[in-house]
Amino acid sequence: MGGDSLMLCRGLKFLFLGLGCVMVATLIYTISIDGLPFRRDLLTPWMAATLVDFYINVIPLAAWISYKQPNHITATIWVILLICFGSITTCLYIFIQLLELSPQESSQDPIYHVLLRHEHKCGVEQKGKHSPVVAARIIFSVLGCIMFGTLTYTIVTDGSPFRRDVLTPWLNATLIDFYINVVALSVWVAYKESSWISAFFWIVLLICFGSISTCFYIVQQLFKLTSHDPLYLVLLNTSDRQVYFIILSFTSIA
């Protein structure tokens, strides 16, 4: 088990380092052939819809980074970098989190240890009276509806996206940026799901429907928590959540 976890940790490091390099190369290449992206002519209907899709997917990543960081200043810096540089920041942040794992954490469950803050790994914080679980359900439900409305409106007003004239160099770059973030979310979904079949099903939905599926998946997971559970428990799969509550019960007794 320890060897498998170490291999997983190394594989994730190479994956996100490689994806980050791919996005840097894509960004440099697109700027070289099509100039900077700050031009009004680039904002076609499908580019606008893709950007909405992209930034809705950024929101759960930004929320996780904000939770992980020990103070508001570093959290704000990372979120600004995420907004400005997209998946380059995602890959860099995850790569750094993997590097910071101890050998013991890498050999146990690297994804669990990357997802949680240090103090929560030991069950230090208990359930609170005012958990934002209900608010998070509402927020991600609204975001999913916004993206569904954006997609429907763009199809009605501009037709199908599967046309050659739609795929401008900057739209291609944005799609690569978008799908690298989807890879990060897919790793989390694969960790969360109890079987490869359900994980594969959800990952296909993420690829096909983007942030609509992301929001629906997060809302579904949030409904597995009670309104008094700490929000960060949504990060964990069922088995790790059970282990967490066992650790929490022993911590409370002590």
- Give a three-class secondary structure readout of the chain: CHHHHHHHHHHHHHHHHHHHHHHHHHHHHHHHHHCCCCCHHHCCHHHHHHHHHHHHHHHHHHHHHHHHCCCHHHHHHHHHHHHHHCHHHHHHHHHHHHHCCCHHHHHHCHHHHHHCCHHHHCCCCCCCCCCCHHHHHHHHHHHHHHHHHHHHHHHHHHCCCCCHHHCCHHHHHHHHHHHHHHHHHHHHHHHHCCCHHHHHHHHHHHHHHCHHHHHHHHHHHHCCCCCCCCHHHHHCCHHHHHHHHHHHHHHHHC
Output the pLDDT for position 129.
54
Instruction: Decide if pLDDT at 246 tops 90.
Output: no
pLDDT score of 247 more than 60:
no
pLDDT for 130 = 64
What pLDDT score was predicted for residue 249? Answer: 55
**122 occurs within a structural domain:** no
Flag whether 195 is in a domain.
Answer: yes
Q: What is the pLDDT of residue 119?
A: 72
| Inside any domain, residue 155 | yes
Residue 89 lies in a domain: yes
Domain holding 79, by residue range, is 2-117+143-253
% of the chain exceeding 90 in pLDDT: 78
Structure-model confidence comparison of residues 144 and 119, the more confident one: 144
Give the global pTM: 0.92
Domain count, the chain: 1
Q: Is 38 part of any domain?
A: yes
Q: Where residue 118 falls among pLDDT bands split at 50, 70, 90? A: confident
Give the pLDDT confidence score for residue 4 in this predicted structure: 87
Mean pLDDT of the 119-127 span: 58
Q: Is residue 130 part of a domain?
A: no
The answer as to whether 128 is a domain residue is no
Is 70 exceeded by the pLDDT of residue 115?
yes
Residue at 56 is within a domain: yes
The string of pLDDT tens digits covering residues 195-244 is: 999 999 999 999 999 999 999 999 999 999 998 889 999 999 987 776 66
Using 50, 70 and 90 to split pLDDT, how confident is the model at 172? very high
Q: For residue range 14-65, what is the model confidence (pLDDT) as tens digits? A: 999 999 999 999 999 999 999 999 888 899 999 999 999 999 999 999 999 9
Tell me which residue of 33, 71, 3, 63 sits closest to 172, measured CA to CA: 33
Q: What is the pLDDT of residue 135?
A: 96
List pLDDT tens digits, range 65-107: 999 998 999 999 999 999 999 999 999 999 999 999 999 999 9
